Homo-oligomer: A and B are copies of this chain.
Amino acid sequence: MQSHHIVRAYDDELKYLTRKIAAMGGHAERLVDQSVAALVNSDTSLARKVIEDDAILDQAQREIDDKSILIIARRQPVAADLREIIGAIRIAADLERVGDLAKNVAKRVVAVAEGRQPVSLFRGLEALAELALTQLKEVLDVYASRSVERIEFVRARDNQIDAMYTSLFRELLTYMMEDPRNITPCTHLLFCAKNIERIGDHATNIAETIFYVVTGDQMPADRPKEDKSHHVTLPVEHK
């Protein structure tokens, strides 16, 4: 009976971690969604809410870290259980960063709102955010279901996100060259786009961690990189 109780308590501890990660994932999705909505609608009060709510993710990460270390010390797990706990620490770190990136988008709402951007720019940014959010959602679904056979989609979509980001980068540079009044707001939009692209990277990191947790193997290191924005240069037309 005694050992049965211990196993049960241990199992509950592991489930606590999984639930806490799922809750963090839900918060992270909401912050990303709201930060982009705040940007597109110049909604400074929603932006403020995102900036405040990021603290929820910081706090959750600390709790997961503390709890994980406590479980390792108390239960001395090996193999799959140990990977589960190390995985929780890693995924919590990625989700905490996703929150930071959403906060960073929210912080730029005021600077962007001071200019008047073409609607197409916001459409591009919304499409990018939608792709990144779908990525994050699916990765969290894979975490919940442990169906790692679905994980390959993640890298394919990460490449799509990078390609879309590069095209948005080019478009933003074009607007900046057309009119110097666009420079400040478009620079902030460039950073917003980069932040959203990074959210996709963190979703990919999480996918790799899940693969490791479930299989005990690392996914191969080199993946094709489609973010070509660092090569983008535009010719200047003199009027």
Binding site for B on A (CB under 8 A): 55, 58-59, 62, 69, 72-73, 76-79, 82-83, 86, 89-90, 93, 104, 107-108, 110-111, 114, 173, 176-177, 180-181, 183-185, 187-188, 190-191, 194, 218, 221, 230-234, 236
Contacts and interface: CB of A to CB of B under 8 A. Distances in A.
Nearest to A232: B111
A221 B56 CA distance: 12
A233 B110 CA distance: 10
Contacts of A90: 93
9 contacts: A73-B77, A107-B230, A111-B231, A176-B187, A183-B183, A183-B236, A184-B232, A185-B233, A191-B194
A190 B73 CA distance: 45
Contacts of A221: 55, 58-59, 62
Contacts of A83: 69
A234 B185 CA distance: 9
Contact of A72 (B62, B82, B180): B82
Contacts of A181: 236
Contacts of A180: 176-177, 180, 236
A104 B91 CA distance: 24
Contacts of A111: 230-233
A221 to B, nearest CB: 6
A100 to B, nearest CB: 10
B69 A73 contact: no
Contacts of A62: 218, 221
Contacts of A231: 107, 110-111
Nearest to A239: B180
Given A73-B82, A111-B233, 13 more contacts: A58-B221, A62-B218, A73-B78, A76-B76, A86-B89, A89-B89, A107-B230, A111-B230, A176-B187, A180-B180, A181-B236, A184-B232, A190-B190
